[in-house]
Structure 1
């Protein structure tokens, strides 16, 4: 009897979509199109994986993702899986939504996960878009393994041949774009059309009452539409207009354009503005005509395909694939060449605008003409833009690549062949390490601006000076402010600090990272006080949670009404400073404005006798009962060997609308500030050199108070004080001092010329 070999079960074709952009972005037409393409492939038997990042064209497009992940920052530099029907979008959480701010660290993490998926998922096809540096590696790594690569191209910006060196199939959305690239660059691409899901873009019923404009950006012809809308307001106020924002801000382009027209406007009475939405059925149900006066190369125009499927005629420019998208269901206009030049803000003359105005009015006044175009729009939508036809074209384009079944092959053979040293590679699952240095750097630069916190979020250190500290600088932080600002991690790296932080409201989202740390100890649901049990008043806003009772609403500014509402009263333990054992010293005490600061100070007198710095937060606008006042703190300081030094980290409130203040910060009301208390002059004179060096380091590194640090160092060593000034570039060069050539080889002052540092007025003459 003949033996039979069991048939190998037929598996699904495997496709990996890989690109840092998020396909859930509702502000990106390309993302929405590709997402729908992948959904269609899944419906037709494909096994699809998606690898992206939290990169968006505009934050307005983040709504779908934020429904599942409201707090992305808590997942920074980790992989998340966003569910999308039959698709799962695996994404690296990036620091910024902006692709230009995607860091090299993030690119490295994303790239490592990509090659891991190549070797573990073993796709038959890799598909992507994008022309930035890391995008080139997508095709490069796939080709190295013998995996065919497809590319989605839907704009006119890819004129260099490098990006397509390793691409097997280029899929585009229009014949016009395919023809343009074949003529101007020389490569062949396959047009498949747009992919529009009727359940989110085709309305069930149509009122047909408004002239619709989607995404009011300069490239999309916002300046032209503003002129048209203003003319319609004057001459045909009965015609309603609707603007749907995607990436662009209608109010901004309206103000800018009308200002150049001669009279700035902030609104037009005939225009209704709709925010960015993933469900366009509402706007299309109200639309009678679509205006799409794009001024750049428009590969196709997704809104045109959507309009055709809804039977909505279009007014378009003769750019790229737009005429192809609407066929006989639209009217095409040619504007002066200046309109098609960046920044796409050229104003039309009255005669140049009139044809567009006449066509728009005709679609409202001539019902017979309008119905003719409606019928043609439905016809174009059915023939050109029905998703089933587009899907057939896509499946046909991918079929030759999928047929190779590259995922069945052993990749090492291809890799050895291409590798100069004949070596294969095998990717392992990458370790996702969090890097917040960019965030800390940016936060550190946002200081000194009215209306923003001015607390330093970076240390002010220089490699040109060695502090020679002896022993750790011990810090008690009663609200974990150093951790929240990002300063604690930087302080830990120096090895100079030992930080004990209390987090009564559990605001720190990643407490486990400090477990076992030699430099940072974090205690959650605990705080400094008098050592007795207390009540924690948990509020709607965690930053308002306090052991002090919130004030009643009638005593609060309206902005605090919601956040200060109590949701629970919880027991909490307080720790008296003097009851803490094992501390070599207490060099720096940080107190917040939401705990009983006076109780902390009164129950820490033993340690505080030798403390070098007390930093206490003082509210100028009270939010809770028994908050510390500046007068109380100064009175305590004067009785316990401290003196007022300065205010720090002054927080302001703006009375402007939030969006306006974001664009043009202006905040004049001071809400709170840190008060810094240093040892009194009597105590300062008695500090040991070790204590002076510690305090000088704190003041210089953490507060950029280099003048105070200099005075302290001058009391230790004249040479070290000079070295400190030179390291921080606070001394003039020798050439500036003497002007002689012999001094240009060195900017160093010797100690004999500075023997009076900190003790003689001649120092000023020397420095001057």
Structure 2
């Protein structure tokens, strides 16, 4: 749209930030700025043909993580551009707090404001208080907002550059589906594709992944259908691409069974411009995009509810199936719809038509020539103190306080011992986890450490925690939680009733008897003193009905770990990680020891991986140790057991990804996570290394010069990604 304005004589300046809906959208920017972190909190200029985008480089690409400091930098630059560039119009989109200041500051100077609206999420009235013109991409969206909220939006259509989306030649041989996300109707398409594979294997299908993950939705949908599949023989998968001419050159029909509100459906306009008929759901502006050049379907209401994974019955799916077959078998019918598509594409979606509508809509605002006026007149009228101001060029300063908050402190730990109580996640890598990772925590250690809330926030974990000594102070906060279940005065064991030895310090309470005081170090004399003996129920793992997959088991050092393991062999058959706490300085009788645990692991398909979270005791006075930490006596550690090498090799891609996610996000074990992900996707493995900062930046030297100095494989570590892929192979 902006390119069309430039082509028609507009002078355009663009201000933004390095914020993206998805990391895949950063590709073209990273071509110009391979190491964005080197420009953090600076203003960069990204070239896009005749347009120059001024971008504030943020710490994260996620808009929700845009810091106050970064918002201040952006806002200061915006004010400076208003007062130096003096635009005749400001055009923006976005409904967050900072975005509202865009229109507010423009109005303060008497500059008209336009807003582009292309979804169904702007139901509150505040964002448009200072907006003069609302543009949208379809009449359906304009009508919806007029009826539901009350404001008027002007539809201008979609803006599609033919050089990237209209193919020169068309083979017309495949059914095309773009962006297989749940919202876009991936579950419907999987059912359709599976039925076509059985009944019409001659019909080829193509899926363009875009932002979604086709293998993941295929596995999940076919699992719900009764037999999980990792591939369909009639489906060709094309990776995300910015040049859609290839897929459209092969497409005979496009299918878009979207299940949420679609303001228009850009892909439909692109298909129609290629003379390709469409099969769509009756959602939002999609029928408007295709006119009479396709067929519209209505599905049951349950399909349109989150998480958009409802399965259709055979009767409900059959009309869509019949339409696909008709378009492949009835050539006369198909050619009629092709002719309709060409006509609608020319009349409705041609770039010139859309540009005319845009220029007509903007003309009343531009004719005011607001930039030629004295801004101080308008400012004085609006300012309660009758003051005016002119913004000066801001100074861009780097603020590292966020990095210091979330990153390990220098010298605080050994390099191989990650900082505790934080998840090692990065906005630059998207984990694709199918279903929840189920965790059983035998003494609520995740809740007590604060880890559980972080894990729940990812929506990737389901945590079942036992709190035998009632150490959790506010258990009611977890009632009704979809991610954390807490059971007090119970714990894992052999399934029999036993005795809880309640001690002065609740953290010392245990079903194991405390050692006699003479065998305890002085620091535990009071805390381990028994107060009462209480009956308590233990739960055998193999007796838990409906447990399903148990991915991660956490055992503490004050329970009978061997009893838990011996009475949980069936449940632990497919478990990905066992984390067992071992005390080096004993405080209770019959505490688990490393030899017993390792012996059990070796007989049951697990192997020792590493120690984690080693605790130390300092013999210095507390005040002195607080100033100069020096703790040398090791009190205990978590022992991590992974599946044996044979079991690892046999894991499904789904479980390899789950285990890699746990190890990387929780334990910062990025090396073994990389190894697991490389078995699933080498490209994804490289993305993980890059996101975690483990790949060196590209070297600004001639590759021929480097190759002359180093063997080919060694040059991979100088940032040559192609060679690094060869190294993986």
With normalisation by structure 1, the TM-score equals 0.56
Query: For residues 333 and 215 of structure 1, do their structure 2 counterparts lie closer, same or farther at Cα, with a shift above 3 Å needed?
Result: same
Gaps of 5+ in 2: 423-608, 610-629, 673-729
User: Cα–Cα, structure 1 residues 338 and 669, in superposed 2: closer, same or farther, change >3 Å?
Assistant: closer
Alignment match of 2:225 (pick from 237, 249, 261): 261
Partners of 1:71 and 1:298 lie apart in 2 by 35
CA contact (8 A) 1:155 1:299 kept: yes
| Residues 274, 342 of structure 2: 8 Å contact kept | yes
The match for 1:245 among 209, 231, 240 is 209
* SS across alignment from 2:12: strand
Residue 285 of structure 1: CA displacement?
0.9
- Partner of residue 728, structure 1: none
Q: Name the CA distance, whole Å, in 2 between partners of 1:164 and 1:301.
A: 24
> Which residue number corresponds to residue 63 of structure 1?
27
- The one-character-per-residue Cα deviations of 1:717-743 (angstroms, maximum 9, x if unpaired) are xxxxxxxxxxxxxxxxxxxxxxxxxxx
The 3-state SS of whatever aligns with 1:47 is: coil
| Counterpart secondary structure, 1:283 | helix
Match of 1:665 in 2: 663
Determine the structure 2 residue equivalent to 1:454. 417
1:353-409, Cα deviation, whole Å (9 max, x unpaired): 111111112111111111111111111100000000100110010000000111111
Partner of 2:407, secondary structure, is: helix
CA contact (8 A) 1:455 1:649 kept: no
Residues 659 and 116 (structure 1 numbering): CA distance in 2 closer, same or farther, change over 3 Å? farther
Counterpart-to-counterpart distance in 1, 2:176 and 2:670: 45
Partner of 2:278: 314
Tell me how far apart the structure 2 counterparts of residues 433 and 257 of structure 1 sit (CA, whole Å).
49
2:103 to 139, 149, 154: 139
Shift of 1:352: 0.5
Residue 665 of structure 1 aligns to a residue in which SS?
helix
| 1:99 and 2:59 matched | no
- CA distance in 2 between counterparts of 1:160 and 1:112 reads 27
Map Cα deviations across residues 55-76 of structure 1 (whole Å, 9 max, x no partner): 1111112111111111111111
Contact 1:124-1:404 within 8 A present in 2 as well:
yes
Change (3 A) 1:243 1:231: same
Separation in structure 2 between the aligned mates of residue 420 and residue 105 of structure 1, nearest angstrom: 27
Q: Is 1:72 the equivalent of 2:70?
A: no
Report 1:105-184 matches (<5 A).
105-184=69-148
Alignment match of 1:88 (pick from 52, 56, 59)? 52
Cross-structure match for 2:269: 305
| Cα offset, 1:437, TM superposition | 2.6
Give 3-state SS (helix, strand or coil) of 1:328's partner: coil
| Structure with larger Rg | 1
Q: 1:152 to 1:115 in 2, by over 3 A?
A: same
CA distance in 2, matches of 1:114, 1:661: 45
Q: Is the 8 A contact 2:103 2:130 kept in 1?
A: yes
Instruction: Say whether the 8 Å CA contact 2:663–2:670 is kept in structure 1.
Output: no
Given the alignment, which residue of 208, 218, 222 partners 2:172? 208
Using a 3 Å threshold, how does the CA distance of structure 1 residues 195 and 453 change in structure 2: closer, same or farther?
Answer: farther
How far 1:454 sits from its partner (Å)? 3.4
Query: What is the match of residue 601 of structure 1?
Result: none
1:111 partner SS:
helix
- Alignment partners' CA distance in 2, 1:670 and 1:287: 41
Distance in structure 1 (CA, Å) of the matches to 2:322 and 2:312: 15
Post-superposition offset of 1:435: 2.1
Residues 441 and 457, structure 1, Cα contact 8 Å, conserved in 2:
no
- Decide whether the 8 Å contact of 2:663 with 2:669 is kept in 1: no
Per-residue CA deviation, residues 183-226 of structure 1 (Å, 9 max, x unaligned), is 11111111111000000000111111111111111111111111
The residue aligned with 1:548 is none
Mapped to 2, the partners of 1:94 and 1:643 lie a distance apart of 39
Aligned-residue offset at 1:260: 1.6
Work out whether 1:415 is the aligned partner of 2:413: no
Q: 1:296 aligns with which of 260, 278, 289?
A: 260
Give me the whole-angstrom Cα distance separating, in 1, the residues matched to 2:670 and 2:141. 56
> What is the alpha-carbon root mean square deviation over aligned residues?
3.3
SS in 2 for 1:113: helix
1:202–1:453 distance in 2 versus 1, CA, 3 Å: farther
What whole-Å deviation, never above 9, does each CA across 1:438-474 have from its counterpart, x for those lacking one? 23333349xx99xx95344999xxxxxxxxxxxxxxx
Alignment match, 1:223 = 187
Find the aligned partners of 1:297 and 1:643 in 2 and give their Cα distance. 59
Give the Å deviation of 1:669: 8.9
The correspondence of residues 388-403 of structure 1 with structure 2, limited to 5 A, is: 388-403=352-367
Q: Distance in 1 between matches of 2:37 and 2:290?
A: 43
CA distance in 2, matches of 1:290, 1:662: 36
Query: 2:349 — aligned with what?
Result: 385
Alpha carbons of 1:288 and 1:662: their partners in 2 closer, same or farther (altered >3 Å)? farther
TM-score, normalised to structure 2, is 0.58
Cα distance change of structure 1 residues 231 and 453 upon mapping to structure 2, 3 Å threshold: farther
For 2:163, what is the secondary structure of its paired residue? helix
Distance 1:83 1:399 in 2: 27
SS at match of 1:143: helix
Distance 1:671 1:382 in 2: 54
- The 1-side partners of 2:319 and 2:63 are apart by 39
Change (3 A) 1:187 1:280: same
Superposed displacement of residue 323, structure 1: 0.6
Deviation (angstroms), 1:668:
11
Of 280, 287, 290 in structure 2, the residue corresponding to residue 326 of structure 1 is 290
Counterpart-to-counterpart distance in 2, 1:411 and 1:257: 58
2:493 — aligned with what?
none
Alignment CA distance shift 1:440-1:361 (3 Å): farther
Pairwise CA distance, 1:659: 6.4
Give 1:411 shift. 0.9
C-alpha separation between the residues in 2 aligned to 1:670 and 1:61?
A: 24
Q: CA separation in 2, counterparts of 1:343 and 1:217?
A: 10
Spell out, residue by residue over 1:627-686, the C-alpha distance to the aligned partner (whole angstroms, 9 max, x if none).
xxxxxxxxxxxxxxx9987899999999898966654437999989xxxxxxxxxxxxxx
1:600-624 deviation per Cα after TM superposition (whole angstroms, max 9, x unaligned): xxxxxxxxxxxxxxxxxxxx9xxxx
1:75/1:93 contact within 8 Å kept: yes
Q: Distance in 2 between matches of 1:74 and 1:670?
A: 23
